[in-house]
Amino acid sequence: MKVLGLETSCDETGIAIYDTDAGLLAHKIYSQIEQHAEYGGVVPELASRDHVRKTLPLIDDVLEEAGLTKADLSAIAFTSGPGLVGALMAGATIGRSLAMSLDIPALGVHHMEGHLLAPMLEDERPDMPFIALLVSGGHTQLVRVDAIGKYKLLGQSLDDAAGEAFDKAAKMIGLPYPGGPYIASLAEHGNPDSGIKFPRPMTDRPGLDFSFSGLKTAFLTAVHEALDDERFNEQFKSDIALAFEQAVVDTLVIKCRRALEQESLKRLIIAGGVSANKRLREQLESKLAKIGGSVFYARPEFCTDNGAMIAYAGAQRLKAGQSSPLNLSIRARWPLSDLEAIGV
């Protein structure tokens, strides 16, 4: 089964073809970051228009790369939520129309299920059950995964997601959007003994929920104090970036270890844009090795939004006989717990 995957939930247009026998055949990602950077965040209307402009040409490119024609496709999977409504509509409309013209099944895929299953595109993949840390600009969640569609939410952010906190902290010190990679780059030159210390939110109490709003406020306070004392220079920016990154990473690592111990599991996957953070990966591998745990993640290009994860997730459900009606509605909000389990 050759499945065309379309990802248009936010500011990346991702197109891919996944073959259930041969694996990933081809994929392409077009990022809108440069368009949105001048606004300091994603402008939904601009995102929607760009998906309309880019999706069909990228489909042609991916088919050519795979050496296929549209007639070779077995099914189409597209992101139907959660995400920006206009952006989702662009991909869903194209996906459903193309499937109808080819007389093949179409399936609306949950965006976060795509991220959760992205590590399955790699040669080294975890067996289920495992714990998933979904960490991006819009989501920070810990989920127990027993099978595809059988998910138990263990904890989530009560306010800002980790990626959103990175973006806002970066903006406070004059860094471009998206902020995570710029914070990480500055942190490489930071002094760990600078004396700048930030809290590890909600790690001093039971539970697996997250909160990054207080950390963000502490960061802003430190910036204002440095400005008042005329200490706000390039070295200070590197030092505060390191302190902030360490606080976020430590918080995520503590909660991941707690989740594994609570659920009596040893396998963790991390997915979403923040999962590409080098310090987070190193700390998770180091800390979880001490309890016999192992960490799995997707290659960096599949940490951000991409069509490969949608094609793969869709293929698993299509193989199980699922498809979506033509009048399927897209969903800006869509809990993972609403999904139907397969393979159980």
Please provide the size of the chain in residues. Answer: 344
Binding residues: 111, 115, 134-138, 167, 180, 277, 305
Structural domains present in the chain: 2-118+302-338 (3.30.420.40), 126-297 (3.30.420.40)
Question: How large is the angle between the packed helices 213-228 and 234-263, nearest 10 degrees?
Answer: 160
Q: What is the mean pLDDT of residues 98-105?
A: 96
Strand 12-19 versus strand 2-7 pairing type? antiparallel
Task: Enumerate the known binding-site residues for substrate.
Answer: 134-138, 167, 180, 277
ω into 105 cis (within 30 of 0): no
pLDDT in tens, 306-325: 999 999 999 999 999 998 88
DSSP 210: B
Binned at pLDDT 50, 70 and 90, residue 344 comes out as low
In the predicted model, what is the mean pLDDT of the chain?
Answer: 94
pLDDT for the residue numbered 337? 87
At residue 40, the pLDDT reads 83
Q: Residue 39: its pLDDT value, please? A: 84
More confident residue, 177 or 15: 15
State the average pLDDT over residues 119-127. Answer: 93
Rounded to an integer, the average pLDDT of 329-335 is: 89
Reported as a single tens digit per residue, the pLDDT across 291-308 is 999 999 999 899 999 999
Backbone φ and ψ of 190, nearest 5°: -80, 155
Binding site per annotation, positions for Fe cation:
111, 115, 305
For residue 19, name the pLDDT band (cuts at 50, 70, 90). Answer: very high
For CA atoms 150, 155, 161, 165, the dihedral sign is: negative
**φ, ψ at 248 (rounded to 5°):** -65, -45
Residue 81 Rama label (left phi>0; alpha psi -120 to 50; beta): left
Q: pLDDT digits over 152-207, tens only? A: 999 999 998 999 999 999 999 999 988 999 999 999 999 999 999 999 999 999 99
Predicted structure pTM score: 0.93
Q: Report how far residue 314's alpha carbon sits from residue 67's, in angstroms, rounded to the nearest whole number.
A: 21
Q: Is 137 a residue whose pLDDT tops 90?
A: no
